[in-house]
Amino acid sequence: MRRLEEGKKDFRLIGKHFLLVFLIIAPATQSQIYFNGLCRYAVHDIEPGLTSLISLNFNNDYYTDLAAFSGSGNKIITLHGAEKGNKIRKTVVNNSASPDKILPVTDAANNVKEYLYVSRKKRTAGLMNFNQGGYPIFGTPVRFNTYPSNISVGNTDNDPEKEFLISGDSFAGMELLKHKKGRLVRSQIVKDHIYPLAILVDLNSDGFADILAYNLIENKLEFFYNNSNGKFALVKQTPVSGKVNHLYAYNINSDFFTDILFSIGNNIHFLLGDSSSSYKRQFTLRTNYEVHKFIPGDFNRDGLTDLCYLNTRNSVVSAVFQKDDLTFSKELLYLEKEGLEDLIPYYSRFIEGFAALSNKGQIFTLARESFLGSNNTIKLAGNADIIVPVSRPGTSAADIGYLDTTRKVFNLVLRNEDQMPGILFSTPVNANYKNIKAESISNSEKIFYFYSQKDRMIEVVLLDLNNFRLKREFVNCEGEIKEVFLRKRESEIYPELYVFQNISGKKVVAHYNYPQKRYRKTGETILFPEAIDINVQGGELFSWTSDSSHTTLQRYMENFSQPLEVVSLPVKYSYRKSISFDFLNNGQNRLLTFFAEKGTSFLQILPLNKEITRKLAGKKYLLKQIELREKENLTSEDFFNNLYIGKINHPLSPKIYFHSAYSDLLYRLDITGRGRYVALTPLAEVQNTGSYFVENRLRNRRFVVYSDKELNCIRSVKI
């Protein structure tokens, strides 16, 4: 090892005055969203080709059931609800009714007694029900000469029976279906216009349902008031700026007056109700995608109405959470799945959330997570490509950070006071990084390092969680990054950086500290010309070199000026990896070095004290073979690429874990007998694993937390 001298021709680019560090204060680029647990994710496989979805409870238990169907097909599929939103079985029924939409019909006590359906293909509408096994039962339909596609349910007169509004984009005008002597009879309301969207809603607070309709030809919203006997008169028309995709009535601001919500393009418009039913006060919410359908609801259970919406063209579902009176959070993209067709509220005694249907044969549900104590699957913004634990002082359970490499966004999932996922903090990053390291400065201050091997830049983000402000800087390195190491001194607040780099084929280590609230390079870059690997642990640096017969370890302290000791091991196997930590939890670090040859892996364990050179001849320091079982398709390459050291707090000692991409199993590397015995213990099956970590929660129970590459979510499994 030697220091590089500035001014020498070969090393001119390495001089310390060529370092570039850019500092950016960025309060406006990040966002924080209080989703309050709306992240429990489930996927249910069904037959493809279905386009509509409804939630129901056909067996009157505590759990929500689902039914999927399509107006162009002849199947209705019902999924039977179970605990935690699971579906225990499904019923597939062939039917000839071909419903496009199904709506519940309730009695005076708001209990569902039957359902209304409409079929564009059959040009029919009628009543139906489900038996306790989930089988649909259709009544005698009403037939039309044109093609109905839209329905609404309401009470337009004094009798206890509900009435049904029929319209559609290829239907002549609007009609009302009424009960009369045990059958449904038709009543024409308008016959000369096209109304793709029309709803029964009490617009003037007189207790009787009026009609709000979108006139496609004139591009207007039309208000039809009810005279309390089921007779309607057009009293007002409101021009709109484009084609209305969805129309809804809901008290969005909890002021006791019904509001009107409708979507045009990338906007959701609000006409706010008042005591005079003037609907003069207006508000518009801008969205990232065109809104084809939206649903309101208090999805994060904070007492305010939120909105989820569906865009079928881009096949996404997003949510916005209301923060106060008609002020909404930044949009949270929950789903981006091929073939999304429908979006519905998803509620029951135990479930609060929404469900989306894909015509590829899947139903996706997002509900509030109430307990992170067992196996969990959570989904939030974008894709969790790379995940990292973010520790909290005084607790072993970690918050979760993850990088969405497609969108170049870093997301931090923070637990609330009940230790449930509650807040999502998001900020853009500069590149599609491959590595993240995180350090907890305090309960409120976290620092993150983003980098990729062979790049020349480290992006550093310092986050203050008290006011959700961040400071961002970029540390430009002289060479290609091979690895970044952190060192946290007890006397310092922020970690130091040691960057192992390759500069024109020369292996070097540069050191950076954090004076004046930004990273600065200290001293000169140190050259390790023959190093095949560098490992920095605490104040020590380990440098490995290798030839055909020996592998040599050099150990340096503090300023790395001279090696403390040199150990030459008569090892003919290929060096792969070394790690240093206190795996026995006795206050003494040990150096674990892994070797491999022809699919076989070996481990060398060395205590880090001044006498290791003299004791090397002892048998207890001979190589230990790690059995990689061929029957489980474990390979040496697989092993070294997927090692993870679980940094578990006392009283549990740290452990070494390994995930096999071939067997989809997570293993623990057990070192027993004070280092004399080594074995791999299978723990759990974890499929489609991207990155992962292991954490301790719930009275010292360990969980593996990993990114599921197929479902683009985060899973935790007890091990």
Label residue 5 by pLDDT band (50, 70, 90): very low
Q: Is the per-residue pLDDT at 12 higher than 50?
A: no
CB 335 within 8 A of CB 38: no
Q: Is the per-residue pLDDT at 221 higher than 60?
A: yes
- Mean per-residue pLDDT over the chain, rounded: 83
Contacts of 21 (CB under 8 A, 6+ apart): 473, 474, 475, 476, 518, 519, 520
CB 695 within 8 A of CB 655: no
Q: Taking the CB of residue 466, how many other CB atoms lie within 10 A of it?
A: 9
Q: Which residue has the tokens 């196996």?
A: 375
Q: Pick the range with the lowest mean pLDDT from 131-140, 222-231, 575-584.
A: 575-584
Predicted confidence (pLDDT) per residue in 176-198, tens digit:
999 987 899 999 999 989 999 99
Entry pTM: 0.86
Q: What is the predicted pLDDT for the residue at 87?
A: 65
| Domain locations in the chain as residue ranges | 1-19+484-572, 240-368, 573-685
Predicted confidence (pLDDT) per residue in 50-93, tens digit:
999 999 998 888 888 999 999 998 889 999 887 766 666 678 88
Domain at 240-368, CATH from 2.130.10.10, 3.90.1330.10, 3.40.50.1820, 3.30.70.1890: 2.130.10.10
Cα–chain center distance at 440: 22
User: Burial code of 271-289, b = ≥16 C-beta within 10 A, e = fewer?
Assistant: bbbeeebebeeebebebeb
Beta bridge partners of 67: 54, 78
Q: What is the predicted pLDDT for the residue at 116?
A: 97
Q: Which residue has the tokens 């929500």?
A: 64
Q: What is the predicted pLDDT for the residue at 198?
A: 98
Label residue 241 by pLDDT band (50, 70, 90): very high
Q: Give the tokens for residue 504.
A: 């024109």
129 sits in which H/E element? strand 124-130
The rounded distance, in Å, linking the Cα atoms of 709 and 707 is 6
Q: Taking the CB of residue 699, how many other CB atoms lie within 10 A of it?
A: 6
639 sits in which H/E element? helix 636-641
Q: What is the predicted pLDDT for the residue at 395?
A: 62
Whether a cis peptide bond, with omega within 30° of 0, leads into 682 is no
467-493 average pLDDT score = 88
Q: What is the largest CA-CA distance in the chain?
A: 103
Contacts of 641 (CB under 8 A, 6+ apart): none
Label residue 372 by pLDDT band (50, 70, 90): low
Q: Give the tokens for residue 512.
A: 């950076």
| CA dihedral sign, ordered 629, 631, 635, 641 | negative
